[in-house]
Amino acid sequence: MLYQIYETQRSLMEPFSDFAQMTAKLFANPLTPLGQLPMAQRIAAAYDLLHRLGKDYEKPEFGIRSVSINGQHVAIHERVEIDKPFCELRRFKRYTDDPQTLLQLKQQPVVLIVAPLSGHYATLLRDTVRSMLQDHKVYITDWKNARLVPLSEGEFHLDDYVNYVQEFIRYLQRQYGNCHVMSVCQPTVPVLAAVSLMATRGETVPLSMTMMGGPIDARRSPTAVNNLAMQRSYEWFENNVIYRVPSTFPGAGRRVYPGFLQHAGFIAMNPDRHASSHYDYFMDLVKGDNESAEAHRKFYDEYNAVLDMDADYYLETINTVFQEFKLVNGTWDVRNEQGQLERVRPQDIRNTGLLTVEGELDDISGCGQTRAAHDLCTGIASPEQRHFEVKGAGHYGIFSGRRWREQVYPVVRDFIAEHQPATAGSAPRAGRRASRGAASAASGQGD
């Protein structure tokens, strides 16, 4: 009933939120009679804040229309390459009329960014994508809101997540010869599993793996998020946070972990910080500091937009990653697309570079949790492994914002370049298999 109650409350609040938005505009406009009243700016700011606290936040757009590469304006066309029931493989194709820039684009590495399925949309990685587009062909996993997926599409399990990643890797390998994989936060675990299974079968593995701020071994430096998952039983989560989607959505009847509960958890982690941020927003509106106010809106438009997760996937992630630690204990069996169980063996990975990135002040995935991947991937030669700790960075700082752009991205870019053949058609680096050739040049004016 909680989901139904929440939706009823949200529906009742919607007209009041719309009214607050309209009233804020009336008081903020100096050409209206209300805009001439004393304290009009302060009243407008109060109504604007009320509107933002009560409004419904829908999935944002990536909104990346162009990037600058070597001083050249390069247009970006966003399109869906593969449409799965619970995920879209989204590509950001780059276009330019400059021959030299076009040749450079075609020779750049292909990167699959695996976005988290942990409450927020993949657009949370907008800054990550924008930076990566300067030097890479970029694809990203855009996970769907489970409440919009009809029951006829079946269930979604953690095993399905792993199989999706493998399917996307194989797709890029067929298109370009091979690719690099980058995972941020939650997907570090299923991505490592996917590549491990491919290596065990003898398949061609990605050229490199970049893993950022993820719970490979959640026992190390446990955070409040880890402790909650460890201290509560599987049955507690199933009985207390799983609900059925109301009849007003396409996924009516589907068992999900609702996004509004995840959002409440995000807020509860740092309530003082969020309260202070909203007060600062109010004061910025009063002072007329539109630049700071707009920065607040952009952040919370993203932060407040959440999605539901299929119950099976959510519960299995809690059990596998945070309770039984199956990956680090070597007890994780994944059911493949043929229905057969396969053991995850990271030690079988041999021909892939491994870069791990952690934030010194990460309060979601503590220090050491991501670095644990190096202890598992014993088959990768030491020179092909690297770890980078970002001083002063929290969880979001390692993939978004100034620290990401100035400190982390150059490390990621150089590591990928190091594991990429120099030009299309050239022989792979010494010690690497010939099947790991570079991408073939695409036709037309795009990469």
Q: How far apart are CA 405 and CA 55, in angstroms?
A: 31
Furthest-apart CA atoms within the chain: distance in Å? 76
Do 145 and 76 contact (CB within 8 A), yes or no?
Answer: no
Report whether 181 contacts 114 (CB < 8 A).
yes
Q: Which helix (H) or strand (E) holds 137?
A: strand 137-143
Helix (H, G, I), strand (E, B) or coil at 17: helix
d(CA 9, CA 263): 16
pLDDT recorded at residue 105: 93
Angstrom distances, CA of residue 349 to CA of 4, 378, 419: 46, 8, 15
Q: Average pLDDT for consecutive 10-residue bins of the chain (447 residues)? A: 89 93 93 91 95 92 93 94 98 94 93 96 96 97 97 97 98 96 97 98 97 96 88 93 95 96 86 94 94 93 94 97 96 96 97 96 93 97 96 94 96 97 49 37 58
Q: Output the pLDDT for position 384.
A: 96
- Count the alpha carbons within 13 Å of 375 in the hemisphere toward its beta carbon: 12
CB 223 within 8 A of CB 364: yes
pLDDT of residue 270: 83
Q: Which residue has the tokens 């040049």?
A: 441
Strands 137-143 and 110-114: parallel
**Tokens matching residue 57:** 């936040």
Task: Decide: 115 and 122 in contact? Cβ < 8 Å.
Answer: yes
Q: E-assigned strands of 34-136? A: 66-69, 72-84, 87-95, 110-114
pLDDT per residue over 119-167, tens digit each?
999 999 999 999 999 999 999 999 999 999 999 999 999 999 999 999 9
Q: What pLDDT sits at residue 423? A: 61
Nearest in space to 436 (alpha carbons), one of 135, 81, 110: 110
Q: How far apart are CA 15 and CA 328, in angstroms?
A: 50
Q: How far apart are CA 290 and CA 427, in angstroms?
A: 53
Separation CA 294–CA 283 (nearest Å): 13
What is the domain partition of the chain in residue ranges?
2-56+259-303, 66-237+311-418
* CA atoms within 13 A of residue 138's CA, in its CB half-sphere: 27
- C-alpha 284/C-alpha 304 separation (Å) is 20
Strand (E) or helix (H) holding 188: helix 188-201
**Which listed CATH number (3.40.50.2300, 3.40.50.880, 3.40.47.10, 3.40.50.1820) goes with 66-237+311-418?**
3.40.50.1820
